[in-house]
Amino acid sequence: MSDKNMIYLHPLPVRIWHWLNALGIITLCLTGVQIRFPEHANIFGSYRSAILLHNTAGIIVALSFSIWFFYYSMSSRNLAKIYVPDAQDMKRGLLRQVGFYFFLYFFGRPNPHHATPDNKFNPMQKSAYLAIMFVLMPIVSLTGIFLMNVSPLRELILAAGGLKTLDMLHYLAACSLGAFLFTHVYLTTLGHTPLAHTKSMWTGWEEEEGEVHEETEHHAGQKV
């Protein structure tokens, strides 16, 4: 039987941020569907309720994003280390991780990545989060702020190419984040138990099975 080593992977601020984001983003997706397709989806009673909820959730997620950014870049000072793939990741790690997820996993081979508090994410996670946190989230938040304040920000909206450009960027970025959500939730089930990663994001402690040899001892999945 395997040993059970526990590592403290997710500090409290990160967990609060994660679940706040999760609630906010799910609310934004559902209200967003009603706002864009009101004749097909009436989830929150009235269109006005959907708008008010969307705006509130948007502000919370945008603030939460700002807090995350400052926490990692100012306080934790390991933003780049955690989120930006290094040369080794790009040269070898990324392909190795893709090979694991899409091939070796089905043969019961272990995950080549070993998560530590300073190196939480595998190269695939790093690439995905880089695109999400540094491209999609800023786009969706900024365009959302513009769309919420059309009259006061009229000049900037015209300079950006008009309302339709902003709406298109907001919508496509939101769809991309929505698409990622499915993959993200699915990949959380690839731990040694289907809920292992979800539990660790709730408690902060990640359970490791066994030790010594990375190739054989690590559980199969790491969430993206």
72 vs 129, beta carbon nearer other proteins = 129
71 vs 105, beta carbon nearer other proteins = 105
| Interface stretch with other proteins, choices 8-16, 63-71, 76-84, 142-150 (CB under 8 A) | 142-150
Using the rule CB under 8 A, is 47 a contact of other proteins? Answer: yes
Using the rule CB under 8 A, is 150 a contact of other proteins? Answer: yes
Among residues 153, 128, 133, which one has the least CA distance to residue 143? 153
Using the rule CB under 8 A, is 79 a contact of other proteins? Answer: no
* Contacts (CB under 8 A) with other proteins, residues 82-111: 101-102, 105-109
What mask of x and - would describe binding to other proteins in positions 176 to 205, judged by CB under 8 A?
Answer: x-xxxxxx-xxx------------------
Measured torsion, CA atoms of residues 21, 26, 29, 34, in degrees rounded to the nearest 10: -130
**Residue 205 dihedral angles phi and psi, to the nearest 5°:** -100, 130
CB-CB contact of 204 with 12 (8 Å): yes
Distance linking the first and last C-alpha atoms of the chain? 28
34 vs 79, beta carbon nearer other proteins = 34
CB of 86: closest distance to other proteins in angstroms?
25
Among residues 102, 165, 191, 178, which one has the least CA distance to residue 136? 178
